[in-house]
Each structure stands twice: as structure tokens, then as C-alpha cells.
Amino acid sequence: MVTDKNIVLVDVGNTRFKYCLLSDAENEPTATENLSDLLSFIDEQQNISHLYLASVRKADAVEQIFAACEQRNIAVEEKNTEREAFGIKNSYENEKKMGVDRWLAMVCAAEKTQKAFFVMDVGTAITVDFVVNGQHLGGWITPGFQVMKQALLNSTKKVYANDEIPTSLSLGNDTEECVATGCYAAVYGVYLSAVDYLSSKQTDFDIILGGGDKKMFAFLESDVRIRPAHLVVQGLARYARSELLT
Ligand SMILES: Nc1ncnc2c1ncn2[C@@H]1O[C@H](COP(=O)(O)OP(=O)(O)O)[C@@H](O)[C@H]1O
Ligand SMILES: CC(C)(COP(=O)(O)O)[C@@H](O)C(=O)NCCC(=O)O
Ligand SMILES: [K+]
């Protein structure tokens, strides 16, 4: 019999791999840039029968995962964006063009609230998707905090950056600080625009937040509309539970 301890969930983002057992899907997944960490994890468990996979990279980036699973007799279930599932209807004309991470973020978010929502994934890119009455209205893709900073450095000669990740809106008093606070303001601006957009629909809504940089929004914690989530692995968890455990 397959249990939630035999299933591993794997999110292949543009920066990092995130993974956990289905039984741990409520906790922070392990994040790593090295595929070997995932393979060691699988080998430590010894009893993995299924691997649920979501990737936004090119096919060759996940070939190694398929090969490693074949060697270990683990069934790989790779998820792709769908037109409709779990009561959510995708607005894309060609849903295959939508990153599966965005689709899974909606699948996760729809389980966390019965209300209208927007789901914001603050990762390499920032994606925002709006859903009202199960209908995906559409979304936004913008550069994430690090990508924004890098684009600025690449396009200028005298702009420098530091490694600080601000956690509230403030002003800079030197170049590095101005870059960090400015890019923070841009990220926060995406959030405020999303609130503004959904508020204009005159509907009560929740906000589901995830991604490696979601800590930037920690200061908003007291807003009852906000639900932090491990979007992609929890979207995968929903698929895995419905396909293998019911
Ligand atoms: N240890 C870390 N290594 C890399 N990025 C990190 C780390 N901790 C936080 N981050 C932040 O997380 C972001 C990537 O978020 P993540 O959700 O993992 O991206 P993706 O799903 O696109 O791979 C980076 O832009 C970075 O600012
Ligand atoms: C927008 C993304 C790059 C976000 O990826 P991430 O930041 O999570 O690594 C990814 O969802 C993607 O490659 N999407 C394809 C284009 C689309 O969704 O329309
Ligand atoms: K993202």
C-alpha cells in the first residue's frame, strides 16, 4: 500500500529545487541548488515509490531525475498545466504556455480559501494570478528581486549592489542601499497593485503568498487576508493525494 511517506514532491524552479515527502507538505520544503541533495534524500528514505515533479526548466534539466528514478524503480509523475482541475478554470488560450508552477500555485491556493484570491509567488520571477469564483482571470509575470538587481547592474556602469534583502519599505543613503530599497519598493509595488486590482472587483478576497522571497512581506503578517504557503509542493501534494491516496 502506498502511504504519504512513500511519495516525494519535487519543485524544479529556475533558481532552486524544493522537495519534501507528501507527509511533510505542510512544512517548509528543503531548498537546494544541487540535484545530488535530492538524490541523497531519496536514498536515505529507501521506501520512495512515487515522485511528483513540477519543472519550469528545459527537459534536459530533469532528465537526470527521470534516470535516477528509473534506476531506483520509482514512478515519476510529471505534472503539466491543465485547462481545468480542482474547480479552477485556466484563462490561458494555450494553457501549455503557462508555467506549471503558476498552475500548481493556484491549485494550492484554492485549497486554502473558499474566497476569491490572488496568489503571488516571489521567486526568480514574481508571478501573480487572480482567481474569482474558480475562474482564473489572468496574471502578471515580473522580474524577481535578484533578477531586477542583476538587470540594473548589467545595464549601468556605476551602480553596485549588496546582498541585503530588505524586509520593509525604507530609503537608501548610498548606491547599494538605494538599489536594495528600490528593488524592494518595486516588489512591494507588485503586491500593492494586485491588492488594488482585486479590490476593484468588489469582492472579498484572500492573498496566498509563497516563494523564496516571501519573507519580504513578513511585516504584513497581521493582515488576516494573507496565507503563507509552499505553493508548488502543496499544489503537487493535492494532486498526489487525489491520485494515490483516495
Ligand atoms: N539560500 C538561498 N539560495 C538562493 N536563493 C535564496 C535563498 N534564500 C532565499 N533566496 C531567495 O529566493 C529566491 C528564489 O526563490 P525560489 O522560490 O526558490 O525560486 P524558484 O522557484 O524560481 O527557483 C531568490 O531570488 C533569493 O532572493
Ligand atoms: C514565470 C516563470 C519563469 C516563473 O518561474 P520561477 O520564478 O518560479 O522559477 C515560470 O512560470 C515560467 O517559465 N512560465 C512560462 C510562461 C508563462 O507562465 O506564461
Ligand atoms: K516564481
For the chain of 246 residues, list the mean pLDDT of each consecutive stretch of 10: 96 96 98 96 95 95 95 97 98 98 98 97 98 98 98 96 94 97 98 97 94 93 93 98 94
Domains of the chain: 7-80+236-244 (3.30.420.40), 84-145+166-229 (3.30.420.40)
CA of 171 to the centre of ligand 3 (A): 26
Classify the complex by whether its ipTM is higher than 0.95, answering yes or no: yes
Q: Which atom of ligand 1 is nearest to the CA of 165?
A: 27
The answer to whether the annotation marks 195 as part of a ligand binding site is no
Q: Which of 75, 49, 74, 76 is nearest to 62 (CA)?
A: 76
Q: Which atom of ligand 1 is nearest to the CA of 101?
A: 21
pLDDT score, position 60: 87
CA of 121 to the centre of ligand 3 (A): 5
Residues 1, 76, 120, 129: is their CA dihedral positive or negative? negative
The SS3 of residue 7 is strand
Q: Which atom of ligand 2 is nearest to the CA of 141?
A: 1
Substitution candidate for ligand 2 out of 62, 80, 100, 101 with most atoms within 8 A of CB: 101
**Is 75 near ligand 1, meaning CB less than 6 Å away?**
no
Q: How far apart are the first and last CA of the chain?
A: 12
The SS3 of residue 4 is coil
Atom 19, ligand 2: which residue's CA is nearest?
98
* 231 and 121 Cβ atoms separated by less than 8 Å: yes
The answer to whether the annotation marks 99 as part of a ligand binding site is yes
Substitution candidate for ligand 2 out of 11, 14, 82 with most atoms within 8 A of CB: 14
pLDDT score, position 202: 83
Atom 20, ligand 1: which residue's CA is nearest?
13
pLDDT score, position 221: 83
CA–CA separation, 242 and 121 (whole Å): 24
Host H or E run for residue 210:
strand 205-210
**Active site members:** 101
Cα dist. 144→94, 103, 123, 216 in Å?
24, 18, 6, 12
Tell me how many degrees the CA angle 52-55-57 measures, rounded to the nearest 5. Answer: 155
* 208 and 113 Cβ atoms separated by less than 8 Å: yes
pLDDT score, position 68: 96
Cα dist. 23→46, 106, 117 in Å?
15, 21, 26
The SS3 of residue 191 is helix
**Is 106 near ligand 2, meaning CB less than 6 Å away?**
no
